[in-house]
Amino acid sequence: MRPEGLLRTQGLLRIVIDTNILVRAVIKPSGTVGPVLLRLRQGSYTLLYAQSLLEELVDVLNRPRIREKYELTEQDIQTVVSLVLLRGEAVTPTERIAVCRDPKDDKFLEVAVAGEADVIVSGDQDLLVLHPFVGIPILPPAAFLQMLDTENR
């Protein structure tokens, strides 16, 4: 277990990000969570992902109501996938976790544990109420971005 607030001293922070946050950052880059993707693009952290999380991201971004409402193109979606592949690290969960009140969110915990994440970023109360989970802080996007800013000082 790592004490809350302890930042990785060697290498980049290892972060799991809820799909909802990534989708929000893609559809509204100038919004409050847009900097999450900007900081990934800048190489400020390593995004941990499983193949299932990447597939979920692509699925959500390809939903007709989202593509139409936010005028997303195939190129927009390919760009974010390429960014994840470039700045991310694929993780294969090794243990099944079933603790979240929304079972669909357990997959984020599984990736975080398997990938030895430093932080899980989510705006979902079903995950936030578990903070910290086995020593891994679960932070809303604003707190995560503030942590990155503090680390870079």
Residue by residue, pLDDT tens for the chain (153 residues) are 343 444 444 578 999 999 999 999 999 999 999 999 999 999 999 999 999 999 999 999 999 999 999 999 999 999 999 999 999 999 999 999 999 999 999 999 999 999 999 999 999 999 999 999 999 999 999 999 999 988 766
Domain locations in the chain as residue ranges: 13-148
The reply to whether CATH 3.40.50.1010 applies to domain 13-148 is yes
DSSP 8-state class, residue 133: B
